[in-house]
Amino acid sequence: MSEQALSNQSGVSSKEEMENALGSHDVATDQFLTFIMANEEYGVDILSVQEIRGWEAATTIPNSPDFVKGVMNLRGTIVPIIDLRLRFGLEHVEYGPMTVVIVLKVNTPTGDKIIGIVVDAVSDVYSLTNEEMRLPPDMGDQVNTAFIKGLADVQGKMVILLNIDELLDLQEIPDAEVLRNIVRD
């Protein structure tokens, strides 16, 4: 299984870059691993990323929401796998060789949890300062933007930075249309 896991080398090198950056000019930067889903680029805090692995079939959990693909064995730990496309209400695509599972550590009220998210493909690692991040636009009361940490402009591309702690709360499903609107905005 481990040979299937994609090595996260870009992350490692970027980490070094970040350390250099921190050392040279004292600007607080956060690093984000980005991934592609339905042609949009999303980012998660790289410190929460445990590993990236290729997709493999998970054991389904009975009576669970359809975005929960099931659980898999991560070296003896049972990890639930969540399809982020289904989570966001995007249309489901067949899993292919580029489909990856990003294993994340999320903070929940009941403690840290390890969760895998299925995304189309891993993209890049960016270092962003606080200034480069914009708050998500106010979408009105009905729209819950708690799961969006901010938006960032990287070389003309917009990256949606996700607040995974909020996003993966199983009780609170963000409205896909809302997200789409934000994405298109």
Partner 1 sequence: MSIDLSQFHQVFFEESFEGLDSMEGGLLDLNPDDFDVETINTIFRAAHSIKGGAGTFGFQVVADFTHVVETLLDEIRAGSRALEAPHVDVLLRSVDCLRDIMQALQDGDEPDMSTADTLKAEFVAILSGASECTPESAVSPDSNLDESDGASDETPSGHWEIYFKPDADVLRTGNEPVRMFRELESLGRLTTEVVVCDVPAFSSLEPETCYFAWNLTLEGGSREEVDEVFEWVIDESELSIRWVHGGLTESAKNTTQSPPATTTDNNQQPVESGSTSVDDSAPTKEMLSEPEADLPEPEQELESKPVEAVVSSAASVAGDKKTESPKKPQKSSSPESTSIRVGIDKIDSLINMVGELVITQSMLGQLGSDFDMGKLVRLQEGLAQLEQNTRELQESVMRIRMLPISFTFSRFPRLVRDLSKAMDKKIDLVLLGENTELDKTVMEKIGDPMVHLIRNSLDHGIEKPADRLAAGKPETGTITLNAFHQGGNIVIQIIDDGKGLDRDRILMKAIENGLVSKDDNLTDEQIYELIFHAGFSTAETISDISGRGVGMDVVRRNIQELNGSVEVQSMPGEGSTFTIRLPLTLAILDGQLVRVGEEVFILPLVSIVESLQVDLGMINNVGGNNEVLRLRNEYVPIVKLHELLDVEPENYELEKGLLVVVEGDNSKVGLFVDDLLAQQQVVIKSLEQNYQKVDGISGATILGDGKVALIVDISGVLRIASKVKGKPVSADHQAA
Interacting residues with partner 1 (CB under 8 A): 1, 58-64, 68, 70-73, 76-80, 113-115, 170
CB of 117 to partner 1, least distance (A): 13
Question: Quick one: which of 118, 42, 40, 56 has its CA closest to 83?
Answer: 118
Taking the least distance from each CB to partner 1, the nearer of 66 and 141 is: 66
CB of 1 to partner 1, least distance (A): 7
Question: Quick one: which of 97, 94, 10 has its CA closest to 53?
Answer: 97
Taking the least distance from each CB to partner 1, the nearer of 59 and 181 is: 59
DSSP line for 31-71? EEEEEEETTEEEEEEGGGEEEEEE----BPPTT--TTEEEE
Question: Quick one: which of 67, 71, 75 has its CA closest to 59?
Answer: 71
Taking the least distance from each CB to partner 1, the nearer of 22 and 78 is: 78
CB of 15 to partner 1, least distance (A): 25
Q: How many residues are given for the chain? A: 185
CB of 74 to partner 1, least distance (A): 9
Which positions ≥6 away from 86 have C-beta within 8 Å?
66, 67, 92
CB of 75 to partner 1, least distance (A): 9
Taking the least distance from each CB to partner 1, the nearer of 172 and 185 is: 172
Taking the least distance from each CB to partner 1, the nearer of 84 and 179 is: 84
